[in-house]
Structure 1
Amino acid sequence: MDSTFAPIWGSLIVFIVCPLLGGLPLIDWITYALTGRQLTKMGTGNVSVSAAFYHGGKVAGILAVISEAAKGIIAVLLTRMFFPRASVWELLALIGLVMGRYWMGKGAGTTNVTWGILAHDIRVFAITILLGGVSFTINRDRQKGKIGILVILAIVIGLFHPNNPEYWVAAISLSGLLWWIYQQIPDDLDLSPNKVHTQSSKVFRFFQAEKNIVSLDSKLDRNKVGSKAANLALVKGMGYTVPDGWVLSPGEDAQALVNYLQPSPEQPLVVRSSALDEDSESASAAGQYLSILHIASKEALKTAILDCQASYLAKSAQSYRQKNQQEAGGMAVLVQEQIAGVYSGVAFSRDPVNSLNNGVAIEALPGNATKVVSGKFTPQRYQVILPELPSSGSPDRNTPNQIVITPKPDEIADSIPRDILESVALLAREMEEIFRGTPQDIEWTHDGEQLWLLQVRPITTLETIWTRKIASEVIPGQIHPLTWSINQPLTCGVWGELFTIVLGKKARDLDFNQTATLHYDRAYFNASLLGNIFLRMGLPPESLEFLTRGEKFSKPPIISTIKNIPGLWRLLQREWQLETDFKRDYQQKFEPLLTELTENQTQDLTATEIIARVDIIIEALEQATYYSILAPLSFAIRQGLLKVSLEDLDNSQTPEITSMQALAIIAADTRKLIAKEQITMNSCASLFAYLAENTEGESILNRFNHWLAQYGYLGDVATDIAIPRWLDNPRPVRQMFSRFFFDTVACEKAKTVSTQSTISWLDKLVQTRLNLKGKVSEVYNKLLAHLRWSLLVLETTWLSEDILLEAGDIFFLKLTEIKEIVANINTPDIKNIIDSRKQKWEQESKLKIIPYLVYGNPDTSLLKINPLILTTSNVLSGIGTSQGQIEGTIKVVSNLQQNIQNIDKKTILVVPYTDAGWSPLLALAGGLIAEVGGRLSHGAIIAREYGIPAVMDIPYATQLLHDGKKVRINGQTGIVEILD
């Protein structure tokens, strides 16, 4: 390069390129790529090598070191291209690098400078490291050591250039800049109390006086030190204010720790239990073990540790463990600095008494926290309602003025200040998020300046967490006992099989029978179990949010994916062979069975023969359930990975589309034979009356009945055998047929199903799974329909024999009970059982608002006494599933059994759920809003096919929106705006 311009270009490198290079958030990118975690959103937000080690693990930490070392070396080498070797410009380049690292990259730059100095002058590097090591060994103090090494660095650089004052200025500026940054954020190697401690600190353990002492600044294993200590270490490492602490493992000699600590009346310590079975998700052991405060001497400390360890052997503690079926694990002991609390208390992220209460429950008093938990003082009780972000359980820190506290603090004598209560409530909810959405019980204190977290543990009475997300789409609405007794084991069994394929041996202790249950007669999935499965699969804890809060499913980290390659490979083999396997089973099992079930009716079968028929159907359903879960899953995975637009796919082979197309064709042919003017009244009744009374209508009725025989297995909820099918109640499809007859536009739209003439090979890979999904759905729903019709024949017999009193009673029995009645084994009091369940059913049916999240085992009476109160704004947010915008009038439809009229292209339907059986209704509307569902749900498919905007996953939409209300919906963004 021309030497005339070299200084100019070199200056640009130093003052522009180097700061930009320093600001590149390589560490954050590396950690996110490997773990799915963003360091800027975790703990202190410090994007450092230490944070990468702590939040990302060893691989992320090592790569972070390499990336930052490379920055330092590159900055020096770039400068060297324009200036002499080891010039002062290289030091200026490092200063620019560090400035960019701090202001743009949120890091200190220690690693950059270390390796940059190595590239600049290896002599300076070697002498500085040598003298710095000596300084650490003599002082054994990190703070003094850091000051010393920066001073040494500046002096050594200056001594190598005694006659060049610019080196002294640059070296002092670099050291001073680093020291100033150390005061602003935690350094990568900082081991001081109340800082984020990391795995990188292990390198410097040999400088400490007691290298075997374990502190809360370490990443602790709950299996070795108990959940109490491990939880505090976790949140301390994330930047939360936790008193400094040290941990003794079960059986460990306390003498080394006693010698190391210096308790005094001015700086007392507290000894807490951290038993290996304490603060677990199943049992808290609250009050079983000792906590000893105000320890002001070494002798008192040693005695307190021994007393705490001995409390594990107390009879009451042993009885507690036996009652909760806990194995003895041993007592770890936690020693912490005692905080002089001005205000203290406990907080529950969810109300442990009324789990339906969405507020944070706080009990507090002036003074230290032991006053509240001792039971000797009556605390002040507060409820804090936090504003939550749309579709999220996360409290919004940006809207503190919306926080509601009852009773109002200014109305109570000696009350806790409002700002402290707000901070405690936010802290409690943040702890809930950190621990996978599990409600948390925290102990806290405020020293007059800052809030301290003393303990965090799960609220055991609120385990397990149950969620209606997804479950309400698979089998929506109120569910009869017979339906659940069949669906639950089938669903749990198949999900257990699939998870076992991936997890292998890691699935041995999981009870997949607990995957789903009923609350309020509605289906809920076990979010706690699924969260445990996600963790074992290596997915980040945030992945649970897509079940509990409706968030987007978290991307699996690369490392966890690699670890699960054997299981994922086995699942991939199943996925790849899915179509071949289904074709084989369809030909060998499903098609012959469905043909036999259709041709051989059950009217003349005995009860024993009907049960045998039922068993055959359920056996086929077990295999069909496997395909009904894996086929949609396979389709979703392919569509997501290959980025194929759902709008580009051909839905013409799905039952919900083919049924309406065939019906519209019959209606169009009817219009060719019969003029609309020949029908005296523009109604369904008059049309079918005319067809029945006139010769030309006979062929049409035959075709309609043939259509009904083909698609009559569909209904309001095809997965619930208690719900009538079209064949049982053809009124909805007769009305749809009439609408197609009288409305030429609607008929032509339903007739003209869009198909893709040419598709890419990527589209074809996804299309084959969409077609398979439709075929599987047809088989599965036909089997359920035949199961329903077989049991209805048995019900008819029992009604005539006075075993049952009313039609529909059989659905209030369980399948095992039906079999016992037929076999005359332990025949229960059927009528009383049915009557009791019907009363409960009626009570549950009156509940208008059912919670989407349920904690523990909820009491139905709570929902009756304290019903959920819904609040809404003028904007609702859901999932956009069919593109387009429309303004229209709301029509709420709870089910297909109600009389539905006056639906046109200005009508926006609001429904609790959609199934294939809703096609007749959706084909008439101009837009759709559903409480549950996603882009792959039946309603979304129908909406895309008919070109109407649709928004799914708007919780409580049927309660929030009312008939006649004007709204605007955006099927792309998922936004619903209330216009009046």
Structure 2
Amino acid sequence: MTQIGGILSILIIPPIIGAIPLIDWFTYAVSGKELTKLGTGNISVSAAFYHGGKLAGILAVLSEAGKGVGVVLLSRIFFPSGSFWEIIALIMLILGRYYLGKGAGATNLTWGIVTHNPVAALLIFILGGVSFTIWREKRAGRISVLVLMVVVLSAQNINHPEYILLTIILASLMIWIYRQMADDLELNPSEVNGESAKMFRFFRGDSGIISLNEALNPQKVGAKASNLSRLKKWGYNVPDGWVLKIGDDIHKLQEFINPSSSNPYVVRSSALDEDTNWASAAGIYDSFVDLTDFDHLSQAVIDCFSSYNSAIALDYRQRQKQSEKGIAVIIQKQINGIYSGVIFSRDPVNQLEDTVCIEAVSGMGLKLVSGEVTPQQYRVFFPEEKVEGEGDISQEVLLNLGKIAREIEHLCQGIPQDIEWTYDGEKIWLLQTRPITTLKPVWTRKIAAEVIPGVIRPLTWSINQPLTCGVWGEIFTIVLGKKSRKLDFSQTATLHYDHAYFNATLLGEIFLLMGLPPESLEFLTRGSKFSKPPLTATIVNLGGLWRLLRKEWRLITDFAHDNDRYFRPILDELKDIPCETLSTIELLDRIDHILEVLKKATYYSILAPLSYSLRQTIFQVNPNDLDYDKIPEITSIKSLQKIAIETQNLLSEAELNQLDCNNYPAFFSYLSESTEGESILNRLEKWLEEYGYLSETATDIAVSRWSEDQSHMRLMFSKFVGEKEIILKVNKDKNKSWKTSMVQPRLDLKGQVAEIYSKLLAYLRYSFVEIENKLIKEKKVLEQGDIFFLKLTEIKDLIKDETINIDKIYNLIKARKCTWEENKKIKKIPYLIYGETPQIDLTTQNDISTTKKSLQGIPASMGIKEGKIKIIKSLTEAKNIDRETIIVVPYTDAGWTTILTQAGAIISEVGGKLSHGAIIAREYHIPAVMDIPHATEIFHDGQLVKVNGNNGIVTILSQITIEH
């Protein structure tokens, strides 16, 4: 009975074990991908590596190895070790694995044989390695290993014919399964990135056939073949195909393909200089379709290779100044689509509209590419998902094409894509994807709009751009080391319509060199959460990261040193020597000195917030547990509030009721005429001495400081005095946790750096203003503000070069003023720009509206508030604000502090949880939502909305404007 039970167990349990899709479960748990819906649909170890990554692959190997070991050990419960029942158990396991588990079972077999007969397994491995070096081809290598298995195991059991027969059956079963699963990747380590892939490529040899199922290197097989392999990996429908390099044996293809009239193939080029980020080489190399027999296919491959040296190709490479890199050839199954065409993930002509452009023709797409016919033209609008255009293709197919284009663009680091496609009536097939080279680089206002907001004048940019680019370049060089040599950090930022943009394409290249996933770039271009770097990336860049962490760890110490040596001495010197006492040349020397020190301050102004953000993320400290009293905008507003409270105490209740605190000129006139008012005005003068370096936009030296224009301070102060109860938050000493103590010093450092940085910029402005005063007297410029429309080098030339043409300077300033004024009128500034600056027709600029009931931003300060909208694009518009007002602002620099504290809630077009507005809002318990693009155009004064600072959602309660 025991043996009968054993036989039944071996015949029943192993197939069940083989059917359990552990690989699919592990892959889904790790990556969220279902193997049955990707690639070949096989649930194999290599598919887990290929689609799920290294962790999924390792778990797959362990699970399948465990199955092989388990069924062998199961048979030993009932039968002697090494019996033929162990072979039967493996046969049953592999049958279950193939028919129910959708896999070949190679890993099961390998570890099952190791457990069954370790000595034989070692001998098979050694001899198999030798045979692989001889055959150096995947299919032959597989068969040779299975033959060796039969020979070695049979030799040890020569007197047991039943054992030999079962071993032959086992090997034959595996060979049959391999033939049935022609695209299965079970024994193809080349599908896996890393050393295993390199090893198998050696065993494959030069005559081996490269499949599009493999992860391909564009430097070896060209970007076209590499991009197709990536599309396959990402789960898109790509026709099966193979890649030949020069010298590969074409006839090896006969093992894989059988061209016929019902099964045609195409041959296409994949040159190493084709479909790259810099050049498309479209139409330069030959392609062939409708290949229905092997002779014609072979000739097409030869002709395709030959096209690399054609006259047109040689001329193209010469004009592009490209070196000779070589060519590979792609052989693919031909899809006879009922419609074919091209998708541009962005409109290459009118990029201001968020559309995907689709062109299509009936049948195959060669007629479209060659320009033989006029295609059907469609546009898919996002985010509305609306289709525009007339033709025969269904709206559903067009919408799917649009979504696919944007998905692929996203997977390609946000670079716009030119995609060839065909539709066979059931599936959309992708035939090619490549960058739209004319839409590079991609420029983003994300972060840049907060760092340097507003419409920027030439002088400001001529100073900020080299400072920002230079310091960021130094930081990235610390991490990347020698990898950074080919990067041009001077292209990190630029201006479009006099607004600052960062180079998302360059940053994407930097991220890739750092080993970060492409999705990391989305936090710049789309505002997504920053992606966690994979462990492999951390290990690869360990040296650079260690150097950066050492800088971060020493940040406070280094700042203290530089503060004593550079920052405090220059600030003391600038304070002691008024600009008015210096000559024009001395002022230029003063400016050069400030810029030299400002570069050091810029380093800290970048690293200090990064350090604070990093520690905040790691230690998960509640922002409300931190003390913000060293942030300049917080200290300035609290100091002004204290003076307002003292003023309330000095004035009688009758005086306060009599005064109109909303009319600040009358209020200050009263103070100047009263005895008590003199002490208050003296306190305000001291306040300006301490905080007068701040302004509406501290990073823009063209914007006046509070010490120059006191109207803003006076307006806010009078409103504070008029409040019945001033909310003055006092940070009480509390028992700080060790986590808080790890973050608080970095927040304090951020505040100290911001103060020094803003003061240096203020003194820089004062120096230029004084130079301008002197130039106006010399009639080299005409009026106040003109100097900010000249670049720094031009100002130096104007002062030092006696032969300069003054009329030319007048005209230059006039032209730049005109452009700047025009750019101020643009209502809708694109958040992303592709390549060159697109032209905006101001006459067609309409208000931006939305049909959405709610908009998602970044939750910056907790709380929920309903109220009426007040749009404030500049501080001059900051009137009639109270606790029932929800203000909508373009950004929240330090100068906006006194406005923000008056409101019931805040909505900002840019910013995040660590921006100025977010800090102010949390300090005064005001609900705030940041990062709602074009909010000042979407909302309207008097609109009723609900701001939810907990989840970042702004809900429009009424589209009707409600009078205040």
Say whether residues 1:417 and 2:394 are aligned partners: yes
Return the alpha-carbon distance in structure 1 between the equivalents of residues 259 and 464 of structure 2.
62
1:634–1:769 CA contact under 8 A, matched in 2: yes
Partner of 2:213: 217
SS in structure 1 of the partner of residue 377 of structure 2:
strand
C-alpha distance after superposition, 1:157-186 (max 9, x if no partner): xx9xx9xxxxx9xx99xx99x999x99x98
Partner of 1:842: 821
**How big is the shift at 1:840?**
1.1
Return the alpha-carbon distance in structure 2 between the equivalents of residues 509 and 908 of structure 1.
48
Partner of 1:920: 898
- Matched AA of 1:609: E
SS in structure 1 of the partner of residue 454 of structure 2:
coil
- Matched AA of 1:189: E
**How big is the shift at 1:116?**
7.7
Identify the match of residue 697 of structure 1 among 677, 684, 696: 677
2:15–2:95 CA contact under 8 A, matched in 1: no
SS in structure 2 of the partner of residue 634 of structure 1:
helix
Identify the match of residue 687 of structure 2 among 707, 711, 715: 707
**How big is the shift at 1:340?**
2.1
**How big is the shift at 1:448?**
3.2
SS in structure 1 of the partner of residue 840 of structure 2:
helix
C-alpha distance after superposition, 1:931-974 (max 9, x if no partner): 11111111111111111111111111111111211222221211
Partner of 1:271: 267
Partner of 2:414: 437
Which shifted more, 106-115 or 89-98?
Answer: 89-98
Return the alpha-carbon distance in structure 1 between the equivalents of residues 375 and 21 of structure 2.
55
Which shifted more, 311-320 or 449-458?
Answer: 311-320
- Matched AA of 1:568: L
Partner of 2:862: 883
Identify the match of residue 873 of structure 2 among 879, 894, 897: 894
**How big is the shift at 1:570?**
0.7
Partner of 1:588: 565
Residue ranges of structure 1 left out of the alignment (5+ in a row): 1-12, 163-167, 388-401
Partner of 2:908: 930
**How big is the shift at 1:862?**
5.5
- Matched AA of 2:946: R
Q: Against the structure 1 CA distance between its residues 478 and 111, is the aligned structure 2 distance closer, same or farther, given a 3 Å change threshold?
A: farther
**How big is the shift at 1:470?**
0.8
2:632–2:755 CA contact under 8 A, matched in 1: yes
**How big is the shift at 1:756?**
4.3
Return the alpha-carbon distance in structure 2 between the equivalents of residues 576 and 281 of structure 1.
38
Identify the match of residue 404 of structure 1 among 379, 386, 392: 386
1:753–1:945 CA contact under 8 A, matched in 2: no
**How big is the shift at 1:848?**
0.6
Return the alpha-carbon distance in structure 1 between the equivalents of residues 626 and 763 of structure 2.
31
Identify the match of residue 943 of structure 1 among 911, 915, 921: 921
- Matched AA of 2:62: S
Return the alpha-carbon distance in structure 1 between the equivalents of residues 950 and 910 of structure 2.
17
- Matched AA of 2:868: T
2:344–2:405 CA contact under 8 A, matched in 1: yes
Say whether residues 1:428 and 2:405 are aligned partners: yes
Q: Against the structure 1 CA distance between its residues 898 and 202, is the aligned structure 2 distance closer, same or farther, given a 3 Å change threshold?
A: closer
**How big is the shift at 1:831?**
1.1
Say whether residues 1:324 and 2:320 are aligned partners: yes
Which shifted more, 326-335 or 887-896?
Answer: 326-335
Q: Identity of paired residues, percent? A: 47
Say whether residues 1:252 and 2:230 are aligned partners: no
Partner of 1:380: 376
Identify the match of residue 734 of structure 1 among 705, 708, 714: 714
Matches within 5 A, 1:35-434: 43=38, 48-55=44-51, 60=55, 63-69=58-64, 71-72=66-67, 110=105, 113-114=108-109, 117=112, 189=186, 212-249=208-245, 251-252=246-247, 255-256=250-251, 262-387=258-383, 403-408=385-390, 412=391, 415-434=392-411
Return the alpha-carbon distance in structure 2 between the equivalents of residues 99 and 925 of structure 1.
68
Partner of 1:392: none
- Matched AA of 1:965: Q
- Matched AA of 2:226: A
Partner of 1:832: 811
Return the alpha-carbon distance in structure 1 between the equivalents of residues 409 and 708 of structure 2.
48
**How big is the shift at 1:645?**
1.7
Q: Against the structure 1 CA distance between its residues 927 and 81, is the aligned structure 2 distance closer, same or farther, given a 3 Å change threshold?
A: farther
**How big is the shift at 1:681?**
2.7
Matches within 5 A, 1:512-531: 512-531=489-508
SS in structure 1 of the partner of residue 270 of structure 2:
strand
Return the alpha-carbon distance in structure 1 between the equivalents of residues 447 and 98 of structure 2.
44
Return the alpha-carbon distance in structure 2 between the equivalents of residues 120 and 196 of structure 1.
27
- Number of aligned residues: 925
SS in structure 2 of the partner of residue 713 of structure 1:
coil
SS in structure 1 of the partner of residue 955 of structure 2:
strand
Say whether residues 1:461 and 2:443 are aligned partners: no
Say whether residues 1:821 and 2:798 are aligned partners: yes
1:190–1:201 CA contact under 8 A, matched in 2: no
Say whether residues 1:860 and 2:855 are aligned partners: no
Return the alpha-carbon distance in structure 1 between the equivalents of residues 254 and 80 of structure 2.
52
What is the root-mean-square deviation in Å for CA atoms of aligned residues? 4.6
2:421–2:428 CA contact under 8 A, matched in 1: yes
Q: Against the structure 1 CA distance between its residues 970 and 99, is the aligned structure 2 distance closer, same or farther, given a 3 Å change threshold?
A: farther
Return the alpha-carbon distance in structure 2 between the equivalents of residues 100 and 925 of structure 1.
66
TM-score scaled by structure 1? Answer: 0.84
C-alpha distance after superposition, 1:546-592 (max 9, x if no partner): 11111111001111101111111111111111111111111111111
2:871–2:889 CA contact under 8 A, matched in 1: yes
Q: Against the structure 1 CA distance between its residues 817 and 668, is the aligned structure 2 distance closer, same or farther, given a 3 Å change threshold?
A: same
Partner of 1:787: 764
Return the alpha-carbon distance in structure 2 between the equivalents of residues 206 and 618 of structure 1.
57
Return the alpha-carbon distance in structure 2 between the equivalents of residues 887 and 223 of structure 1.
58
Partner of 1:806: 783
Return the alpha-carbon distance in structure 1 between the equivalents of residues 299 and 90 of structure 2.
57
1:196–1:237 CA contact under 8 A, matched in 2: no
SS in structure 1 of the partner of residue 539 of structure 2:
helix
- Matched AA of 2:944: K
**How big is the shift at 1:899?**
4.4
Return the alpha-carbon distance in structure 2 between the equivalents of residues 801 and 874 of structure 1.
58
Return the alpha-carbon distance in structure 1 between the equivalents of residues 919 and 568 of structure 2.
26
- Matched AA of 1:245: G
Return the alpha-carbon distance in structure 2 between the equivalents of residues 437 and 41 of structure 1.
28
C-alpha distance after superposition, 1:910-941 (max 9, x if no partner): 11110111111111112111111111111111
Return the alpha-carbon distance in structure 1 between the equivalents of residues 97 and 721 of structure 2.
71
Identify the match of residue 645 of structure 2 among 668, 672, 694: 668
**How big is the shift at 1:73?**
6.6
**How big is the shift at 1:467?**
0.6
- Matched AA of 2:63: E
Identify the match of residue 701 of structure 2 among 710, 721, 733: 721
Return the alpha-carbon distance in structure 1 between the equivalents of residues 186 and 602 of structure 2.
54
TM-score scaled by structure 2? Answer: 0.86
C-alpha distance after superposition, 1:786-842 (max 9, x if no partner): 111111111122223332223211111111111110111755611111111111112
SS in structure 2 of the partner of residue 347 of structure 1:
strand
2:696–2:893 CA contact under 8 A, matched in 1: yes
2:848–2:934 CA contact under 8 A, matched in 1: no
1:94–1:116 CA contact under 8 A, matched in 2: no
Return the alpha-carbon distance in structure 2 between the equivalents of residues 963 and 864 of structure 1.
23
1:258–1:302 CA contact under 8 A, matched in 2: no
Return the alpha-carbon distance in structure 2 between the equivalents of residues 206 and 814 of structure 1.
59
SS in structure 1 of the partner of residue 902 of structure 2:
coil
- Matched AA of 1:642: F
Q: Against the structure 1 CA distance between its residues 563 and 205, is the aligned structure 2 distance closer, same or farther, given a 3 Å change threshold?
A: closer
Q: Against the structure 1 CA distance between its residues 883 and 807, is the aligned structure 2 distance closer, same or farther, given a 3 Å change threshold?
A: same
SS in structure 1 of the partner of residue 528 of structure 2:
coil
Partner of 1:398: none
